[in-house]
Amino acid sequence: MNAIEVQDLKKAYNAETTVLKNMDFTVKEGEFFAIVGPSGCGKSTLLRIIAGLEQVTDGTLMMNGQEATYSRPNERNISMVFQNYALFPHMTVAQNITFGLHVKKISKEEQKKRCMDAAELLGLQHLLERKPRELSGGQRQRVALGRAIASQAPICLMDEPLSNLDAKLRSKMRSEVRQIQRRLGMTMIYVTHDQIEAMTMADRMMVLNGGDIQQIGNPLHVYNYPENKFVATFIGSPPMNMIEGTFDKQLLQITDEWKLPASLKANDKVYVGVRPEHIMSAGSDKPSFIGKVEHVEILGTETLIMFSLNGEQWTAKWAGQWSFEAGEMIPFKVDVAHLHLFDFATEKRIETAEVLAPMEVII
């Protein structure tokens, strides 16, 4: 069953400002659904529309099989976790967790039970009498999550809840939030600009840009088969390397040296993309191209090698620790199976297998 169905949804503030365009997607019951995109792409506005805090301009919103396009927030049976936690400073942890339950006419005994259940799940039992100012950032985030859990709403909306935490704590909280969501079986819609959060937490993710849906799918499928140039360069860290290529006389010419047999029409231009981890050392093999080292970052378990290729800066990611000097020339090799092609005009994905064969590099 679908917990949420969005059909042809649009949001515009005036004739010149349209922030969401023809949104069409579903969220399954019990699914962790991430909405990811750069700042200003409309992801928080979409979440506020689902919460009932913003009105749609056009379209339909269904929640648990019932139309909810114009229903009030308190009629939607949802919980929400905000970026700034939204805790009341004068209330204890216990009071913050149970805040709002009395409005639903839930008995004090049931409120206490829900509070203790949420506190036990989140490891907050020893903090129930403290005020928010006495808590760390991670503990405050757990209290905000505890309030959502205590509400027992089947749908939880989260708006960049971990962005205020340091990197180590953010990684820990990612794991905790995901485990809790699985354990409770709640439907969670998680908005983030951090593609690593979306990749590591979501059952499915939706990539937004400029108010348009770019791609929806399993995180690994989105990573391995980006539908357009934007998704290819946005998802992945470091991002996908990109360069222009030209088809000429049944060859794809990427650089003066790097040419591949191809079957597209002559003079067609494309974007050629390669993930950093798929750029290998040529060793004794025939190289795809020679790169001039500009900068090297040794990260302990892996090394990032930045080099110039036809005036573009590219990055290779190698396992282990490698040391190169700036200006050094390195022979690199790329397997044809790891190339991504995108139409030059539309920036849409071209299925590589249809135009390139897994053959030796032509020099």
The predicted structure's pLDDT at residue 265: 61
Residue 283 has pLDDT above 80, yes or no: yes
- Joined together, the tokens standing for residue 285 give 């093999």
Q: Which has the minimum average pLDDT: 143-147, 247-251, 320-324, 340-344? A: 247-251
Among 102, 91, 6, CA closest to 45: 6
Distance CA 125, CA 118 (A): 9
Residue 355 has what pLDDT? 77
Helix (H) or strand (E) holding 234: helix 229-234
In three-state secondary structure terms, 198 is helix
Same-fold call for 2-233 versus 239-355: no
Q: What is the CATH number of domain 239-355?
A: 2.40.50.140
Q: Are 107 and 143 in contact (CB under 8 A)?
A: no
CB 90 within 8 Å of CB 131: yes
Can you read off the two tokens belonging to residue 315? 């990055």
Every domain of the chain and the residues it spans: 2-233, 239-355
pLDDT of residue 64: 86
pTM, entire model? 0.89
CATH of domain 2-233: 3.40.50.300
Is the bond preceding residue 161 a cis peptide, omega within 30 degrees? no
Contacts of 278 (CB under 8 A, 6+ apart): 334, 335, 338
pLDDT for the residue numbered 358: 56
